[in-house]
Each structure stands twice: as C-alpha cells, then as structure tokens.
Amino acid sequence: MLILAGVVLLALGMVFLLLDRENLPLGKLPGDITYRGKNTVVFFPLTTSIILSVVLSIILYFISRMRH
C-alpha cells in the first residue's frame, strides 16, 4: 500500500512539473499568497489548492459512481 501511494505521489509530482513547463499558472493564480521577507519566503497556494480539491473531488465522485 505504501509503495502504491509513493508511486501515485511520484506521478503527481511529474504531472505538476510538466504542467509548469506548459506555462499553466498553477501556483501563480490570484489568491495564492507569497510573503517575501528579508531572509525568508513563505508561499501558500490557497487558490490553487481549492481548484485542485474541486477537480479531484469531481474525478473521485465519477470514479465512485462507475464502481456502483
């Protein structure tokens, strides 16, 4: 189970890298919070997190509907 979870996380990471190369603004949307201090940078992708949550919820909903 842990190996499967690791493979899924690795695949998701690769998808995000490919999406970044295609100039999709994930992580750079309005509402994503970035604070740059003197020696620190804090980044909180609020809007990106909400959009990804909605998309994954819809996908998982349709997968669960197909299984029944």
Structural domains in the chain (count): 1
Q: Does 49 reside within a domain?
A: yes
Q: Per-residue confidence at 40, pLDDT binned at 50, 70, 90?
A: very high
Q: Calculate the CA dihedral of residues 59, 62, 64, 67 and round it to 10 degrees.
A: -130
Look up residue 14 and give its two tokens. Answer: 């690769």
Report, in angstroms and rounded to the nearest whole number, the Rg of the chain calculated over CA atoms.
16
Q: Which domain holds residue 52?
A: 25-68
Whether the predicted pLDDT of 47 surpasses 80: yes
Q: Does 16 reside within a domain?
A: no
Q: Does 63 reside within a domain?
A: yes
Q: What is the pTM of this model?
A: 0.61
Q: Per-residue confidence at 37, pLDDT binned at 50, 70, 90?
A: very high
Contact partners, residue 19, CB within 8 Å, separation at least 6: 26
pLDDT of res. 48: 85
Q: Does 18 reside within a domain?
A: no
Q: Does 3 reside within a domain?
A: no
Q: What are phi and psi of 36, to 5 degrees?
A: -110, 110
Q: What is the pLDDT of residues 14-26, one digit of tens each?
A: 887 787 777 777 6
Q: Does 11 reside within a domain?
A: no
Whether the predicted pLDDT of 53 surpasses 90: yes
Amino acid identity for residue 37 in this structure:
G
